[in-house]
Amino acid sequence: MKNKVYDEMNKGMELIHQGFKIRNDIWMEEILFSWRWWLGLGLVILCWGSWWIFRKKNSSNRLLFAGFFIMVISLSLDAIGMQLKAWNYLYPIIPLIPAYLPYDLALMPVSVMFLIQVKPLMRPVYKAFLFAVLTSFVGEPFFKWIGIYEPLTWRYLYSVPFYFIIYLIAHWLSNRCNFEKDME
C-alpha cells in the first residue's frame, strides 16, 4: 500500500533525475573538453604533482590524513551548499558529481597540507587566518571571475569561519601526538 510519503519522495527523485539529465546533456555538449574543463583537470594534476614532488617525505602519512579529512568536509559542505542553492558550479569535471572536484579534492587539501608543513613553528591560528582570508577573498572571486563558481545567496565573508575551522582541525589531525605509532 502506497502512502503520501512514498509518492512525494518518488516524485522528488524523478525531478532530481530530470535535473541530472539536463545537466548531463549540457555537460556533454558544452563543458566536456572546454578550456574550463581542461583547467580543472590541469589543476588536479598540478596540485597533486606539486605535492608529490615538494612534500616532506617523512610527513606524507600525517599530511594525507589531514588532506583526506579536508576532502570529505569539502565535498560534504559543497553538497549542502548546492542543495540549499547557496552557490552553483557551472563547469563540473564529471556530471555525476555537481561539486567542483578540482577544488574539493585537490586545491583545498593540497593547499592546507603545504601550509601545515611550511613554517611548522608558526602558530596554527595565524596560518588558519591566512588560509581563510586568501581562500575566501582571492580563491572564490577568481573562480567566479572565470565563470566556474556562481555564488547565489552566499557571500565570500561567510566562508571565512568555515575555512578557518577546517584548517585548524586539519592541523590538529596532522599533529596528533601518537600519529606515527597509530599508523604502524
- Residue 23, pLDDT above cutoff 90: yes
Q: Clarify whether residues 20 and 69 are in a common domain.
A: no
Same-domain status, 75 and 152: yes
Residues 106 and 63 in one domain: yes
Domain count, the chain: 2
Q: Look-up: residue for cell 579529512?
A: 69
pLDDT tens readout for residues 100-129 = 999 999 999 999 999 999 988 899 999 999
Q: pTM higher than 0.85, yes or no?
A: yes
Sign of CA dihedral 94, 71, 81, 150: negative
Residue type, 47: C
My answer on whether 49 and 17 are in the same domain is no
Q: For the chain, give the mean pLDDT.
A: 93
> Domain check: are 59 and 134 in the same one?
yes
Please state the separation of Cα 178 from the chain's center in Å. 28
Domain identity same for 85 and 111: yes
Dist CA 124 CA 86 (whole Å): 29
Give 36-74 pLDDT, tens digit per residue. 999 999 999 999 999 999 998 888 999 999 999 999 999
> Do both 129 and 45 map to the same domain?
yes
Range of the domain at 59: 33-183
51 and 25 belong to one structural domain: no
144 and 96 within one domain: yes
User: How far is it, in rounded angstroms, from Cα 49 to Cα 32?
Assistant: 23
Predicted pLDDT of residue 179:
60
